[in-house]
Structure 1
Amino acid sequence: MEEYYLVCEDSLEGIFTGIYDAYLKKISHGQIHICVGEEENYRLFAVYETCVPDEKKTASVAKTIIREFGMETYLSVCRALASGEADKGEAVYKTVVTGFSMKNKKELMGNLSNPFVHRVFELARFTANEAHYHVEFLRFKELESGILYAEIGPKNNVLTFIVPHFADRLPLENFVIYDEKRDIYAVHPSKMDWYLVVGDEKRNQQERIFSQGEKKYSELFSCFFHTIAIKERASYGRQRNMLPLRYRQYMTEFQENKGSYGS
């Protein structure tokens, strides 16, 4: 029995297109698998097909998930697909298949005894937690142009989940949030909708000069942060639980000696 592996782009559009193509084959879903990116070692007696992202197919799958399983399930699927884990495509595909076999489709994400549903739940939770951390820990800095700039380096692709929070609270500000690991910018012009831009890190790094006012206030904030600390009550283990180390390199209060300001 031949196994089919649909190789998809690592994006929501790519994986949704793969799910659409999987249903077009009209064969057992147990024989079809979704791969995110090329595999290092190809399997024997397996057929590999590349899926090209398609907007119409993506929209069709998205509408079907919302209609059949509800908006909450759709959001969980989107969060799972933002994960950096390689098995997310297979987990989402088999979760959709599981949902169509259920009598009450709206309870799909409650079916945690199913390993694929449970995996989607895990991936979605991890992504949502990381997005929540970034909402709490993200620090804006003012550029010479007056634009507010922030930088992040998340494990998962959470940029689209955190920008709406700041767009809602800073509607009159021009701000940019940069995901350095994926070289993607979220741009929010004042009084307008935000959008994503694939960046040119080398070129844009030259334009990242912070204002003199930003430098002064950053130094004051760092001084305040370190001055109010009570050394006798320091608990570094608890601090790492509340604020993981990987977030600190992007936070103003931990950058007082980095000299990251332009001249």
Structure 2
Amino acid sequence: MKTNLIYDGSFEGLLSAVFYVYEYKLDTVSIVKREHAQASFFDTEEEVLTNLEKANRVWKGLSKKISAQGKKKLYKAYLSEITTIENTILYYIRRALNSENNIEKDFTDQQILEISKVSKKVDREKHRMDAFIRFRLTKDEMYFATIEPDFNVLPLNLDHFRKRYADQKWLIYDLKRKYGLYYNLAHVQTVTLNITPTINDETSALAYFSSEELLFQELWGNYFKSSNIASRKNMKLHIKHIPKRYWKYLSEKKF
């Protein structure tokens, strides 16, 4: 019989569930987000409450077995939100804690390899967001941008934008996951707002953004179009470097 550990979806909650596995010496176990949990006649369910102290014990314990880079890979794998990634992470942690040798590059193990592959995918998405996010100045003098990345990479983008735009108030909002990061010139905080994708519609722009910003966006779009040389256009190469799913973030693509 398998034990399903239900957690709240946070990284600290996941680590709390890992601690629970060791605390109760569970063998056949699966860690599942509360939103994905499904009742089963053949499995037992336990809800694991997030416990920061226990989560920190797991995270610090890993420092004795894997590098800081290895821990970052686990965190990035968690941010992928791939179904069942929790169990791959659990497997990785178990192997790391039980092994006398560092297991980070044991790519003969398919689950160790999977963590490496997934973390690279999340890394690529993070760097694309760094490059493709476009801010717009709102009427209340704040720079605002929306994103809908494939993975939950916003926490990874934090340092990049805090350093690059340290002298400006800004808010980056993930429409898909319904939360954002707000920087008020002193510190960054996580916010949840009632924002819908319609905020990006041209018909709604005047309600949210300054007239100067809208004029700048139009001028930038016109410059982008006029600077293109039709005879040198290579759409295949262009799409390779800037996939179409990111065009909605780019102001130059709206004109």
Tell me the TM-score normalised to structure 2 length: 0.90
Distance 1:200 1:55, change over 3 A: farther
- Tell me what 1:45 maps to: 42
Q: Which moved more, 1:31-40 or 1:210-219?
A: 31-40
Letter in 1 for 2:237: R
Letter in 2 for 1:220: L
Q: Which moved more, 1:54-63 or 1:156-165?
A: 54-63
- Measured in 1, the distance between the counterparts of 2:38 and 2:138 equals 47
Partner deviation per Cα, 1:25-52 (whole Å, 9 max, x = no partner): 1143xx1222234557655532222222
- Measured in 2, the distance between the counterparts of 1:137 and 1:39 equals 31
Q: 2:137 aligns with which of 142, 146, 149?
A: 142
Aligned length: 249
Partner deviation per Cα, 1:138-190 (whole Å, 9 max, x = no partner): 11111122211111111111111112101012211111111111111101111
Q: Which moved more, 1:95-104 or 1:177-186?
A: 95-104
Aligned partner of residue 249 in structure 1, secondary structure: helix
- Measured in 2, the distance between the counterparts of 1:195 and 1:68 equals 32
Tell me the TM-score normalised to structure 1 length: 0.87
- Answer yes or no: is 1:93 the counterpart of 2:93: no
- Measured in 1, the distance between the counterparts of 2:187 and 2:237 equals 39
Q: Which residues in structure 2 correspond to 1:201-220 (within 5 Å)?
A: 201=195, 209-220=208-219
Deviation at 1:232, TM superposition (A): 2.1
Partner deviation per Cα, 1:206-247 (whole Å, 9 max, x = no partner): 996111221111111101111111222222222221111111
- Tell me what 2:242 maps to: 243
Q: Is 1:11–1:81's contact at 8 Å kept on the other side of the alignment? A: no
Q: Which moved more, 1:61-70 or 1:164-173?
A: 61-70
The alignment's C-alpha RMSD in Å is 2.1
Distance 1:177 1:247, change over 3 A: same
Distance 1:160 1:40, change over 3 A: closer
- Measured in 2, the distance between the counterparts of 1:219 and 1:38 equals 42
Q: 1:104 aligns with which of 101, 104, 110?
A: 101
Distance 1:161 1:39, change over 3 A: closer
- Measured in 2, the distance between the counterparts of 1:40 and 1:148 equals 38
- Measured in 2, the distance between the counterparts of 1:186 and 1:18 equals 27
Q: Which residues in structure 2 correspond to 1:90-169 (within 5 Å)?
A: 90-105=87-102, 108-169=103-164
Distance 1:147 1:65, change over 3 A: same
- Measured in 2, the distance between the counterparts of 1:35 and 1:118 equals 21
- Answer yes or no: is 1:74 the counterpart of 2:68: no
- Tell me what 1:61 maps to: 58
- Measured in 2, the distance between the counterparts of 1:155 and 1:123 equals 12
- Measured in 1, the distance between the counterparts of 2:225 and 2:99 equals 56
Aligned partner of residue 65 in structure 2, secondary structure: helix
Structure 1, unmatched stretches of 5+, are 257-263
- Measured in 1, the distance between the counterparts of 2:176 and 2:30 equals 28
Distance 1:237 1:44, change over 3 A: farther
Letter in 2 for 1:198: T
Q: Which moved more, 1:207-216 or 1:144-153?
A: 207-216
- Tell me what 2:11 maps to: 12
Deviation at 1:71, TM superposition (A): 1.2
Letter in 1 for 2:108: S
Percent pairwise identity: 20
Aligned partner of residue 79 in structure 1, secondary structure: helix
Distance 1:182 1:39, change over 3 A: closer
